[in-house]
Chains A and B, each alone.
Chain A
Amino acid sequence: MKTFKTMLKIELKLSLRGMDMFIFAICLPVVMVILLGFIYGDRPAFSGAEYTFFEQSFGALATISICAGGVMGLPLLISDYRHRKILKRFQVTPVSPSRILMVHIGIYAIYAIVSVILIYIISAIFFGYRMEGSLVWFAVTYLLVMLSMFSIGMVVGGLAPDQKTAGIAASILYFPMLIFSGATLPYEVMPEVFQKIANVLPLTQGIKLLKIVSLGEPAALGIVPMVFLTVLLVLCSGIAVRFFRWE
């Protein structure tokens, strides 16, 4: 526990000094909330809808930081640490690979949680947002979405042979997911063809789940995405730990 706390503290400091996560995981979601809030205000999601467009988007906005940390930050960091032989230095100490991975997951989890709390406060104060569904369930499903997206990042960081490949793979995952899954552009305004493509992206399933929970819709609707994400999480974590390489 002492190892975990100290490593978390120092690696978080290093990450904050880097600034990029602060921009993509904290500032970007806030900017998106303000933009969508001003553009759509309290317009209903569609004619006759019981909830507003903004309320419908909250779940999606909450995942921007997950996406930045999980599929961009995490794989780039792991491959960078391997490339610079920082992991190799850890290899000749008693620390275990899973401990190192947990520390970095912890850091990106902090970004994600800070971001979701921040956008909730901003949404509540400036745009009168109230979550219809249960906050506890939202927190639980948010963690599931977060961990499953992070596990994808760990697989990419773990399997990429070098930094360049990790960078390309991260971009291929990050930008389509950010744009098409509804995290920035609302899923609902996209043409049907795009929606179909977006459906296969893991983040789309995550956003669907968060939308159902945040709007207080029947839990039964969330079963498919929940199973999907759980399977993804188990599979990817297994692969990440199994194929972890120090060098």
Chain B
Amino acid sequence: MKTAIDVQDLWKSYSGIPAVRGMSMRVAQGEVFGLLGANGAGKSTAIECILGTKKADRGSAAILGLDPQQQRSQLFEQVGVQFQEASYPDKIKVGELCEETCCLYRKAADYHFLLNQLGLTEKKKNFVSELSGGEKQRLFIVLALIPNPKVVFLDELTTGLDPRARREVWKCLLEMKKAGLSIFLTSHFMEEVELLCDRVAVLKKGDVVFCGTVNEMIRKSPYERLEQAYLWFTDEEEEIENL
């Protein structure tokens, strides 16, 4: 299988405090890969180093065989990204944000079609700031899909959504998965991870403490549920007893 994302011995620290310590992983094309870990475990830093928006202290990351810093413009023709904090100008409408995003790419998808697919056609003329949480997240999926990407990065896409909105987003992601897209996501919802991810990596204070399939993760722990296994790997045992 071809490699979509290749990370080799990635290190990053902020003013001496390590955030990511020697991360290595490989995501195959068509695979859905989940990066798990508590808040502050280094997930966002890892994503940013992989995407080249932060410079790693050591190690390398390549997406589709391209260096995200040296070959930025070539790479991002084929990669869609949704960052944790959504960022759009004040007073921009849904249609305008899509149109502006489209014009950045040589071969952009038809955003009308994507909006329709994600049930946002009616909202084209609305201001982005007027959308509900779920609608906004679906809009960000549309934006990440506009480049017709081979790989998408989704950082905590469903955080802050109600269960119904979250399920809607999952449905979209499953369809993307079926279409053969490689997805790199971070999440705090183990139900979501079990449903979507082929493989996961668990970060604990910047270290990768586990990398493999969901089933392997459960088997390697003394527990039977992913959530318990996750807490066990991240050493938050007291909380396990409270579950």
Please state if A89 and B91 are interface contacts (CB–CB under 8 Å): no
A96, B73: Cα distance in complex, Å:
8
Q: Is B77 an interface residue, CB under 8 A from the partner?
A: yes
Range of interface residues on A (Cβ < 8 Å): 20 to 34
Q: Is A3 an interface residue, CB under 8 A from the partner?
A: yes
Q: Is B210 an interface residue, CB under 8 A from the partner?
A: no
The contact of B99 among A6, A84, A86, A90, by CB within 8 Å, is A6
Among A3, A89, A91: residue with most chain B CB under 10 A: A89
With A3-B103, A10-B99, A89-B83 as contacts: A94 and B76 at CB distance below 8 Å: yes
With A94-B73, A94-B74, A94-B76 as contacts: A85 and B87 at CB distance below 8 Å: yes
B106: A residues at CB distance < 8 A: 94
What total of A-B pairs shows CB separation below 8 Å?
69
Please state if B104 and A93 are interface contacts (CB–CB under 8 Å): yes
| Chain A residue at smallest Cβ distance from B81 | A92
A11, B91: Cα distance in complex, Å:
10
B91: A residues at CB distance < 8 A: 14, 17-18
Q: From residue A199, how far is it (CB to closest CB) to chain B in Å?
A: 39
| Chain A residue at smallest Cβ distance from B51 | A92
| Chain A residue at smallest Cβ distance from B89 | A14
Chain B stretch 81-122: residues in CB contact (< 8 A) with chain A: 81, 83, 85, 87-92, 96, 99-106
A6, B95: Cα distance in complex, Å:
12
Q: Is B53 an interface residue, CB under 8 A from the partner?
A: yes
With A18-B91, A86-B88 as contacts: A13 and B53 at CB distance below 8 Å: no
Q: Mark B50-80, 1 if CB is under 8 A from A, else 0.
A: 0101000000000000000000111011010
A182, B106: Cα distance in complex, Å:
47
B51: A residues at CB distance < 8 A: 92
Q: From residue A8, how far is it (CB to closest CB) to chain B in Å?
A: 10
Please state if A7 and B88 are interface contacts (CB–CB under 8 Å): no
Among A2, A3, A5, A93: residue with most chain B CB under 10 A: A93
Q: From residue B214, how far is it (CB to closest CB) to chain A in Å?
A: 28
Q: From residue A102, how far is it (CB to closest CB) to chain B in Å?
A: 14
Please state if B76 and A92 are interface contacts (CB–CB under 8 Å): yes
Q: From residue A62, how far is it (CB to closest CB) to chain B in Å?
A: 29
Please state if A85 and B99 are interface contacts (CB–CB under 8 Å): no
Please state if B53 and A247 are interface contacts (CB–CB under 8 Å): yes
Q: Is A124 an interface residue, CB under 8 A from the partner?
A: no
Q: Is A244 an interface residue, CB under 8 A from the partner?
A: no
Q: Is A88 an interface residue, CB under 8 A from the partner?
A: yes
| Chain A residue at smallest Cβ distance from B103 | A6
Please state if A93 and B101 are interface contacts (CB–CB under 8 Å): yes
A17: B residues at CB distance < 8 A: 91
Q: Mark A213-247, 1 if CB is under 8 A from B, else 0.
A: 00000000000000000000000000000000011
27 A–B contacts, CB within 8 A, in A order: A3-B104, A6-B100, A6-B103, A7-B100, A7-B104, A10-B92, A10-B99, A11-B89, A14-B90, A14-B96, A17-B91, A81-B89, A84-B89, A85-B87, A86-B88, A88-B53, A88-B83, A89-B83, A89-B88, A92-B51, A92-B53, A93-B76, A93-B101, A93-B105, A93-B147, A94-B72, A94-B77
8 cross-chain pairs, A with B, having the tightest CB-CB distances, nearest first: A6-B103, A85-B87, A92-B81, A94-B73, A93-B104, A17-B91, A10-B100, A95-B104
Further 8 A-B residue pairs, CB within 8 A, beyond A11-B100, A14-B92, A94-B74: A11-B89, A14-B90, A85-B83, A88-B53, A90-B104, A92-B53, A94-B76, A95-B73
